[in-house]
Amino acid sequence: MTNENLMLILYPIIKVRLKNNQKSIIKEILKISEDQLDEIFKSDNLKDYKLEKNRIKIKSKKETIEIFLNAKKIVENVDFSIKSIERLIDLGKILEIDKNETGFDFDIYDSENINHFEFIRSVRNFSLIAAAVGFLPIVPISDYTLLVLIQLGLLSKIANIYNFKLDVKGFLKMIFTTLGTGLILKTFSKILYSFIPVLGWGINAAVAYAGTYAIGILAKRYIEEEGEMTAEKIKSIWKKSFDDGKKEFLSLKNIILKKKDDLIKEIYKFKNKNYDKKENIKEEFDEDDDKDKSVDVKVKKKKKNDKD
């Protein structure tokens, strides 16, 4: 394989700082030596590489498709980010790869499809991290807010995908209130504050996954309807999405169990990185609960005075 063709294949990840395990994956896919790979990535030409039709010299359509599919395989296994996917799309366009030849089950040249693809990928990834929380054997009771942090991160990502101005904390609080005072927080705190066997942790992981999944689906529907959603609709979407999330968890359980230790390592990193932020969020939610209780007390007193 020529260096020019290798550059085409590696174009989608040229901005990625590769780790050793990622380099190993690329070598395996392309069947090239480490020296050849290092030579390409150390090349000044690659840093400023631009896709130009006139510099591409491919002998056949079969070779063109092979180059694209190798690039796709590398993106999927090395850096499955939206930026790499966008560069893969640029490669497909200049190689004149038809939408039915890309290996994707949707039209990658349609921006709406790409947004939906990134949405599904984000919901799944954040839900997997939430599932790891369910596997934690011993955690302090205050760590129920880890799930809140994960969900806030998911909401921010979804808002960015659809370029929608969303008050993520406000949205999450609204969902909590609509579904019942403290219902989700109580559910998640029970998930975390658990000392049951591994099977029990698996059940907890399923609930954490499904809850985060449902919040992601609700956020997308909220954006689509520009914030106009009734309480009844929110409850209906939540119920269906939560059930769908549990089913998806079951379909992924073998992958999750296989990667459980890696997921737990990630959640501990997440926890240490966000300790101060976690405490601030807990205080904000506790303050809101106190305000709600205060309002309830005032309303009850007013009603009693009115009766007197």
The CB density around residue 135, as the number of other CB atoms within 10 Å, is 19
Phi-psi region of 104 (alpha: psi -120 to 50; beta: other; left: phi over 0): beta
Phi-psi region of 96 (alpha: psi -120 to 50; beta: other; left: phi over 0): left
User: What DSSP character marks residue 16?
Assistant: S
Start-to-end CA span in the chain (Å): 91
Residue 47's pLDDT is 60
CA–CA distance, 209 with 267 (Å, rounded to integer): 14
> What tokens were used for 195?
């000392």
Please report, in tens digits, the pLDDT of each residue of the chain (308 residues total).
Answer: 777 888 889 889 888 888 888 889 999 999 988 888 877 777 655 666 677 776 677 778 888 999 999 999 999 888 888 888 889 999 999 999 999 999 988 888 998 888 888 899 899 989 988 887 766 654 443 356 777 888 889 999 999 989 898 888 888 888 878 876 445 544 444 444 443 344 444 557 778 888 899 999 999 999 998 888 888 898 888 888 888 888 888 887 777 766 666 666 666 666 665 545 445 555 555 555 555 444 443 434 444 455 55
Residue 6's pLDDT is 86
CA dist 79 → 73, 95, 149, 235 (Å):
10, 21, 24, 36
CA–CA distance, 271 with 294 (Å, rounded to integer): 32
Listed by start position, the domains of the chain span 3-109, 115-294
Q: What is the largest CA-CA distance in the chain?
A: 93
| Residues 201 and 131 sit within 8 Å (Cβ to Cβ) | no
CA–CA distance, 264 with 257 (Å, rounded to integer): 11
- Give 257-262 contacts, CB < 8 A, sequence gap 24+: 257/202, 259/128, 260/132, 260/135
Residue 19's pLDDT is 85
- pTM surpassing 0.75? no
Residue 213's pLDDT is 93
